[in-house]
Amino acid sequence: MTVTDLLLAELEALCAEKGLDAYRGRQVMTWLYGKGALGYDAMTNLPQPVRQRLASEVALVSTTVKSLAESADGTRKFLIGLADGECVETVLIPEGRRNTVCLSTQVGCAMQCAFCASGLRGLKRNLRPGEIVEQLLHVLRALRADERISNVVYMGLGEPLVNYENVLKSVRILNADWGLGIGARKITISTVGLPKPMSRLAEEGLQVNLAISLHAADDATRNRLVPPNRRIGLARVLQAARDYVAKTGREITFEYVLVEGVNCTPEAARKLARLIRPVPCNVNVIPCNPVPDIGLAPPPQAAAAAFVDTLRRAGVNVNLRKRRGDDISAACGQLRLREAQ
């Protein structure tokens, strides 16, 4: 356990248990999240005996940056080392005035999506809340003077809704005024479409965004690209999406990765438009990243443009996203795979 695993009330209670003033917890949080201190030595308004006591009994953080690569397009990818020797990836994606941080939630992934490198070595374990939060802390420490974080997306390694409790706790730490103070509407949780945890998320009272990795408009194609669909089915995914919108009043984002020869024809676009029409939503379309271990390829640029144009003519709010960071293995799981070789 580290301080980054804890809510403020939990840290205050822990301080009290150790015979320290409970308000020391808020002081520690102010240094950690407000001032970016990753060691107790910097916390100069805490008496030295208190700092020494905390340092010996409650680790502040547990992760380190193993490497940092920057792409020609400005994308920066962090390889984060965990205390048990495993590692995960965190990506900073600049786009105009926006700086989006993509967080991982598991070591590996069990979803086995056909175009994604995250699950090629299987799922090792869930990340603790602190291991998720610390990814953002490392990015914040690496920002240039004129940079700010505008958005956070849980779209890195892993399926966030499988690690539900730890992900939600990390969201509350990111969102809290005593934490990192990131607005809930600037936070997006991505899922392959797990109905039960989607329903649970709708009841949390958080104004976070939900993104569903759809990638196909029929079960046969989606079964091929997103294996969990074989036991769930598109009908249940779409119903859970409608229920989420009805409960929260928040639009859904559907993510759609284009794979050559699989899901990128104009007819596939028309089928997608018909499928999602009942759901208040927008669609992010992105050509797949070529991964040598997988063998799938993105469609030609003209085919991607035709797919998007077909959706727009059908009345769908759609954005064509660019692939980012190809030169630094920035697609989910690629850098971790390269490190393991």
Q: Which of 12, 89, 131, 255 is catalytic?
A: 89
**CA pair distance 104, 113, nearest whole angstrom:** 16
Closest-CA residue to 194 (of 220, 168, 233, 158): 233
Q: Is 332 a catalytic residue?
A: yes
Exposed, middle or buried: residue 225 (CB in 10 Å: 0-12, 13-18, 19+)? buried
**CA pair distance 40, 59, nearest whole angstrom:** 9
Cross-strand partners of 257: 286
**CA pair distance 18, 25, nearest whole angstrom:** 12
**CA pair distance 228, 146, nearest whole angstrom:** 42
The DSSP call for residue 9 is H
Q: What are phi and psi of 163, to 5 degrees?
A: -100, 50
The per-residue DSSP string of 58-110 comes to: SBS---EEEEEEE-TTS-EEEEEEPTTS-EEEEEEEEETTEEEEEPP-EEE-S
Q: What are phi and psi of 326, to 5 degrees?
A: -55, -35
Q: Which of 87, 102, 116, 332 is catalytic?
A: 332
Q: How long a stretch of residues is the chain? A: 341
Collapsing DSSP to helix, strand or coil, 282 comes out as strand
Q: Is 204 a catalytic residue?
A: no
Q: Which positions are catalytic?
A: 89, 332
